[in-house]
Structure 1
Amino acid sequence: MENLVGRFREAVRAAGATAPDADLEAAGGYLIGRWSEPQRQYHTVAHLTAVLDVVDQFAELAPHPERVRLAAWMHDAVYDPRALGDANERDSAEFAEGLLATLGVPDATAAEVARLVGLTAGHATEEDDPDGELLCDADLAVLAGNDEAYAEYTAAIRREYAHVPDEDFKAGRAQVLKALLELPSIYRLAPLREQWESKARANLERELKG
């Protein structure tokens, strides 16, 4: 976890934070605590780390990778599987803006990170938004996993929604899968699309049929 805290400190400092390192590290530790809450089965520290790793791998595709990294940290900072609609994303965006402000990040940058967080509600970006595209593509990278990894992902999602009856869960999940398959492209950035699109679609179609 110490390495993760360091990654947060570096990202928030690159975004203009003026707070002392000790405060930045405390904030990173607090965020890790949120990502470790007991109601989480998929939206965990492992998911956070996976998203950060994709952002780091393709950072050159984003004009402001430090903002994308912070948005990755914040995008599920508030997570309640029982929440309705995009409440988690809205609350996470509001949380992000407030936390970053306390760390001395410029208001405009904090607001932009909050905007990026909000995009993860529907993973819809404008045409000229490479920062948003990288965040959304990184968040959806799990869809292109190998068969074992994808099975682990779907099992974790089901555990997260254990309170939902099987029939209702299956219907809701089918809506999500169909919406993703109806997109012109699941991944927006060309290098990621070339690597992941076909595998992700195959995984989604297999789950939908299953």
Structure 2
Amino acid sequence: MTLLARAEAFARPFYAEPERAYHTAEHVEAVLDALASREVLTPTLTLAVWGHDLIYDPRAGDDEARSAAVFGEWLAAQGADADLIREVRALILATRHTDPPSTRAEALLVDADLSILGADPVTFAAYDRAIQQE
């Protein structure tokens, strides 16, 4: 099983937590599809997408840092290269949306993660309801 397939298998249970309404595997797949449709999806971006919302608690405020830590530890346990772990961590932290992206990969991920904000009215309304539910 490839690292990407193992990452998906590791991440899916997080995205299936019952309190999630928007930050689910469907969101991850939409971000992956947005990147793939632009022909910019790389293995590193794929890993970051699967890791970016592992932890989701709308009250905590540190989800991305906790997600980066959990996913980084998992990558290390898989024997991933330290440079890859650092890059994936930086990509996940870029999804905090507090600072402008500093690399092209960060910009691509941030754009794909926030692409729901430019969705058609029906899709956006469903997103809005799901976020309120969370």
TM-score by structure 1 length?
0.59
In the alignment, the residues of structure 1 paired with residue 8 and residue 46 of structure 2 have an alpha-carbon distance, to the nearest angstrom, of 12
- Spell out the pairing of 1:1-210 with structure 2 (5 A cutoff): 9=2, 12=3, 25=6, 27-60=7-40, 65-83=42-60, 85=61, 87-122=62-97, 124-126=100-102, 129-160=103-134
- For these two proteins, the number of residue pairs brought into alignment is 133
Offset at residue 82 of structure 1 (A): 2.3
Percent of aligned pairs with the same residue?
34
SS at match of 2:110: helix
Aligned AA (2:48): A
Q: Give 1:28 deviation, angstroms.
A: 2.7
Which runs of 5 or more structure 2 residues have no equivalent in the other structure? none
| Alignment partners' CA distance in 1, 2:106 and 2:38 | 13
Unaligned runs of 5+ in 1: 1-5, 14-23, 161-210
2:79 maps to a residue whose letter is G
SS at match of 2:55: coil
Deviations 1:83-125 (A, max 9, x none): 1x3x101001111211111112101111110111001001621
State the structure with bigger RCO (CA 8 A, min sep 6), 1 or 2.
2
Moved over 3 A (4+): none
Rounded Cα–Cα distance in structure 2 between residues aligned with 1:59 and 1:32: 24
User: CA separation in 2, counterparts of 1:120 and 1:109?
Assistant: 17
